Structure 1
């Protein structure tokens, strides 16, 4: 696998883990009474928060693994299991953006939703954080870190564009279209998760490499 292909694969993986399309219904519900300028402001804050969460996970994650003595194979296996469980929720229709899971707070300033719950845990949730820590731990030095930072930036821009165009996308896709895209993303995430689990097992049990 070429280096370019490798980083494209990572970009796709983190993008489907963040999955900003699924956050559109919640964003529209929480910002329904706001002006377009206010919605754009919240979208910008959310994308910045997502970028910060992903980059912090990238740069601090590896040190946390070292601090707690967690090996890469073990984290790869655990991360794969977590991501697989997330993919099952997406495939089975248990949306992470459902309003039932995020109760309304009458006293909450609508602008406050940019970080919680939009950026965290809705978009940059456990799956995306685990993915960034995992890929960061496998980085080949400064060059790899730079590419991963660029990927985090591109994903956050994807979030920004998705939220700014949320109303138009909902009209185009409607809820059924969003659900279909979410299930397809779930299948992709499941495939990534299975690969991570198998990779972790191969590293922990070398004999699996010799059928």
Structure 2
């Protein structure tokens, strides 16, 4: 029991920091600016459910799947970094793009689902979260393995459940800042996202390439 509780606390703290719904909240406010509360609530729930499905799938089957496909976690970091950089680039140079894309029009049915991209992927269920979940699920061997895995999945569920009200509270930010303020925040977030994406790419390159070809001391 103590082992499971310790594993739950450790996993909860780690996953909350890695998933970081507080950091995603301003992005959620920028992307859902102008939506009513019901739409925002549905978007937040969908983002949590989609990211939960992805993270649970990788937690349960990720290590086996990647092993058989010959894909390493470093590849996820690099690929996620490239996607995140593209999002940040678009946010910085065209902050109104997401708002314009969501306005009703003849192609409304084909608009991107922001709950899936970029909120669930790669923000909530990013390469860091995927790697962390897989590591937490495989960090313990022996009799404590199953309790630790159950505690990890329970911690993941709690973090994603907390993400929904955190994302919903971001609507007050949009109302207080207005359009000009939201554009400013969106551009600042774009810069931060590009910086974070660059770090992901660097980490992927370092882990996937440089450490392999490093010359022995």
Q: TM-score range by the shorter chain?
A: 0.5 to 0.7
Q: CA deviation at 1:66?
A: 4.5
**CA–CA distance in 2 between the matches of 1:69 and 1:45?**
37
* Gapped regions of structure 1 (runs ≥ 5): 32-38
**CA–CA distance in 1 between the matches of 2:14 and 2:120?**
21
Q: Aligned in 2, Cα 1:121/1:8: closer, same or farther, shift over 3 Å?
A: closer
Matched, 1:150 2:158: yes
Greater Cα offset, 3-12 or 142-151 = 3-12
How many residues matched?
A: 187
Deviations 1:78-98 (A, max 9, x none): 112221222222222345522
Q: Which secondary structure does the structure 2 equivalent of 1:25 belong to?
A: coil
C-alpha RMSD of matched pairs (Å): 3.6
TM, length-normalised to structure 2: 0.66
Q: Which secondary structure does the structure 2 equivalent of 1:117 belong to?
A: coil
Q: Hey, what does 2:183 align to over in structure 1?
A: 179
Q: Which is greater in Rg? A: 2
Matched, 1:12 2:20: yes
Q: Hey, what does 2:203 align to over in structure 1?
A: 199
* Gapped regions of structure 2 (runs ≥ 5): 1-9, 139-148
TM, length-normalised to structure 1: 0.68
Q: Hey, what does 1:69 align to over in structure 2?
A: 70
Q: Aligned in 2, Cα 1:79/1:125: closer, same or farther, shift over 3 Å?
A: closer
Deviations 1:7-52 (A, max 9, x none): 454143784388211123241xxx4xxxxxxx44x44333221211
**CA–CA distance in 1 between the matches of 2:181 and 2:154?**
35
